[in-house]
């Protein structure tokens, strides 16, 4: 096994769309972007996919057979680990004022109106897959919650612990790369188990969830899932300021 660009595709996209012609349009639009695309035609199939593999971006229609896109949003709100760090785009022809009001949810990253042009779709996908270095807007609040929960409100103790962790994360990244290179899923599982707790203690809940998913994938000997999750977890490890 090897790390770097060959470890995983540039991005993994889940498309939930019951219109076969639109599924083909999206597939053709993205075929030169090196993106791994999984297209399903129902919310139930989309949720099943999210339970079994990690995605970077989700694009969903609203009007679907069975459960609607609104119910997908409710499911992601109720079970955040399903979405993890994937961004959700609602892609619909019915984005009037009332619908937009109903779609005021923190799990939704962007609304995209149908029909849209090729350039607009490509731009949305590229933006959705981009990950900047800046922390999320609520990072400070999450840190304060961690200080209160795990450190008895003692900020100095938290900062000392965090400083040690930042130095250790560089070693952890190297150890994870080495474990992946030699196909050592047991070693990668042990590392993920440790990172799960440390990241949660630091207030990095999404990264902690990634570590848990990696731990579970390694325990199940699912190399494909582990290969998708390890680069994302590695990238999520906090770095010195």
- Domains in the chain: ranges and CATH: 11-129 (3.40.50.2300), 139-236 (1.20.120)
Q: Are strands 35-40 and 108-113 parallel, antiparallel or unpaired?
A: unpaired
144-199 per-position pLDDT tens digit? 888 988 999 999 999 999 999 999 999 999 999 999 999 999 999 999 999 999 99
Element (H, E) at 108: strand 108-113
Angle at 123 between CA 119 and CA 124, to 5 degrees: 120
The pLDDT value given to residue 137: 42
d(CA 221, CA 5): 22
> Which residue do the tokens 């459960």 mark?
67
Most confident of 66-75, 103-112, 128-137, 145-154: 66-75
d(CA 228, CA 223): 9
The pLDDT value given to residue 96: 84
The pLDDT value given to residue 159: 92
pLDDT at position 17 over 90: yes
Q: Do residues 181 and 189 make contact, with C-beta atoms less than 8 angstroms apart?
A: no
pTM for the structure as a whole = 0.54
């Amino acid at each position: 096994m090897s790390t770097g660009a060959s470890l995983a595709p540039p991005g993994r996209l889940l498309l939930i769309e019951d219109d076969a012609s639109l599924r083909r349009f999206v597939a053709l639009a993205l075929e030169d972007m090196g993106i791994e695309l999984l297209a399903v035609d129902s919310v139930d199939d989309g949720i099943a996919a999210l339970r079994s593999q990690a995605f970077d971006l989700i694009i969903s229609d609203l009007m679907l057979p069975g459960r609607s896109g609104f119910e997908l949003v409710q499911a992601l709100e109720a079970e955040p680990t399903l979405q993890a760090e994937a961004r959700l785009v609602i892609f619909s022809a019915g984005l009037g004022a009332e619908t937009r009001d109903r779609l005021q949810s923190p799990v939704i990253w962007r609304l995209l109106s149908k029909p849209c042009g090729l350039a607009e779709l490509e731009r949305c996908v590229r933006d959705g897959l981009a990950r900047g270095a800046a922390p999320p807007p609520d990072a400070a609040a999450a840190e304060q919650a961690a200080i209160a929960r795990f450190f008895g409100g003692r900020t100095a103790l938290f900062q000392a612990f965090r400083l040690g962790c930042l130095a250790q994360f560089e070693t952890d990244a190297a150890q994870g790369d080495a474990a992946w290179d030699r196909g050592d899923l047991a070693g990668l599982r042990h590392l993920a188990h440790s990172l799960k707790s440390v990241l949660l203690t630091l207030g990095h809940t999404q990264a902690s969830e990634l570590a848990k998913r990696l731990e579970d994938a390694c325990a199940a000997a699912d190399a494909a899932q582990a290969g998708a999750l390890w680069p994302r977890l590695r990238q999520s490890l906090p770095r010195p300021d």
